[in-house]
Structure 1
Amino acid sequence: MVMRKLPHVTLMFWVLKIVATTLGETGGDLLAQTLHVGYLVATGIFLALFVVAVVFQLKARRFHPALFWTVIALTSTAGTTLSDYMNRTAGIGYTGGAIILSTGLAIVFVIWWRSGQTLDVENVATFRGELLFWVAILISNSLGTSSGDFLADSLGLGFRDSALILSAIMLLLLAGHFFTRINAMVLFWVAFVLTRPLGATVGDFLSKPRDHGGLAWGTMWTSATLLAVLIALITVQAVHVRRHPLTALPVPVRTGEPQQPNGALLLQDA
């Protein structure tokens, strides 16, 4: 048996994911735009922080809410600035950026599927599986910024209407989970990818000026508010995990050969 490294997919998981990705949008814009660091330098800073954080996550022996959600937030901030650099500075455009990142994400999922690792996040119990998970998260969170901007700007829907449309799609996916036989992993990953453009459009709606269709909270105040909410939710989850530890998982095998586990090994009673 191996200790879980990834959380159970519950309502708290989705709330934390949306808050973290929304913070990623406003936090990325805060550094790149408000503080005038620029997209390229900001991307380098956030990617460096992501690499440091994800190394600690990969080396951890069990699930640590603060560490896990820090990595998620950093994939969102890095994804925001990377996507904006591609789309704006490099001149690829929102549509081109969305196509490139969608193709990259599809390639990662094909590699993941061909590797024999489970795509069921709750049952990932190997180092290779977790590594593929984080690569997919980084690309999907970059894609989310491009797709959110594509909806809001290229299609002219605006931040508020784009957020409402994405929220409606999320509700349809929830209904599909409870009332249809659609594969649960497919529904999860579609919802997981869509939370990023949802966070991007909500973040832009809160922070952008009124003449751009936003509420004009500004990137600094919006980021500070979201950070406070995220810390509070992580604290709640950490207390819950301490009182009710996540159940361990059997170490998966492929072709009869054991794979390197990603969590602390536990002895199983006979």
Structure 2
Amino acid sequence: MVIMTKLPSITAVFWIMKIVAATTLGETAGDLLAQTLQVGYLASSVILVGLFVASLVTQLAVDTFHPALYWTVILATSTAGTTMSDFLNRTAGLGYARGALVLLTALAAVFLLWKFSGRSFDVQTIRTFRGELLYWAAILLSTTLGTSLGDFLADDSGLGFGGTALTISGILVVLPAMRKTGVSGTLLFWIAFVLTRPLGAAAGDFVSKPVVAGGMGYGTIGASLLLGSTLVVFVGYTSWQRRPARVAEAAG
């Protein structure tokens, strides 16, 4: 069944919301539930994956783009990805490197299935139910992978939270220039989408961790409140931007 696109345009505001708010908030909120509230990684993963499924079902059921709903699903993938990664790396004992390899393999399998389905990787052209399912599967795995990569770079590599954020930021700055060399914009989008997760993971840890551990000392509660408020402001802004489009749709 063909449906109207329900995904946002890829603009500067999209990336700001993805990195500053949704991704970083996912890291701090996931840690808030699993660590600060002592729910545990396994139980937190079950809870957050349940929230992801519930929000995704709602997203798949609607026919148009709703900013609040879309970013709720993104946030759900971010928080679920944090606890799922921590469960694999810590509770299951795989460690950051092996955990990241497992997740990278799973993500590659999704993209392989996506390719053989004959559907475009361009997120701006996704207008079918199956295409959207592949899109969200890739997002969930990329956010989980990003958490493992962020933890690996920050802890095992010795870069620390700030060093990891600076390293990933440097790579992301270079990506737009690669478009001029003929590299596919769709490929660059997915590379950026994967890399923004470890950036958010490192940034989330940098904001929430104690000063003695190399962070800013806001804690998971303070950081989550700050980032959550920022996300709400941006969602309100994007909803306000869409008012002319909604009026036109209603008139049509």
Gaps of 5+ in 1: 249-266
Match of 1:261 in 2: none
User: CA deviation digits over 1:126-162, x for unaligned, max 9?
Assistant: 0000000001111000001100001001101000010
Does structure 2 retain, via aligned residues, the 8 Å contact 1:28–1:77?
yes
The aligned length equals 248
Gaps of 5+ in 2: none
Match of 2:164 in 1: 162
Separation in 1 of the partners of 2:248 and 2:168?
33
TM-score (norm 2): 0.95
Separation in 1 of the partners of 2:93 and 2:3?
46
Q: How does 1:1-270 map to 2 (within 5 A)?
A: 2-18=3-19, 19-177=21-179, 179-244=180-245
User: CA deviation digits over 1:180-219, x for unaligned, max 9?
Assistant: 2111111010001101000000000000112221111100
Does structure 2 retain, via aligned residues, the 8 Å contact 1:29–1:80?
yes
User: CA deviation digits over 1:159-185, x for unaligned, max 9?
Assistant: 0010011011110012223x3211111
The structure whose Rg is larger is: 1
Q: Bigger shift: 57-66 or 238-247?
A: 238-247
Does structure 1 retain, via aligned residues, the 8 Å contact 2:3–2:129?
no
CA RMSD of aligned residues (A): 1.6
Letter in 2 for 1:176: M
Q: Which runs of 4+ in 1 moved over 3 A?
A: 244-248
Q: Bigger shift: 168-177 or 17-26?
A: 168-177
The structure carrying a bigger helix percent of its residues is 2
What is the percent sequence identity of the aligned residues? 54
Separation in 2 of the partners of 1:142 and 1:212?
23
Give the C-alpha shift of residue 2 in structure 1.
4.2
Which structure's relative contact order is higher, taking Cα pairs within 8 Å and 6+ residues apart? 1
Separation in 2 of the partners of 1:153 and 1:92?
15
Give the C-alpha shift of residue 225 in structure 1.
0.4
Give the C-alpha shift of residue 242 in structure 1.
1.9
Give the C-alpha shift of residue 246 in structure 1.
11
Does structure 2 retain, via aligned residues, the 8 Å contact 1:80–1:145?
yes
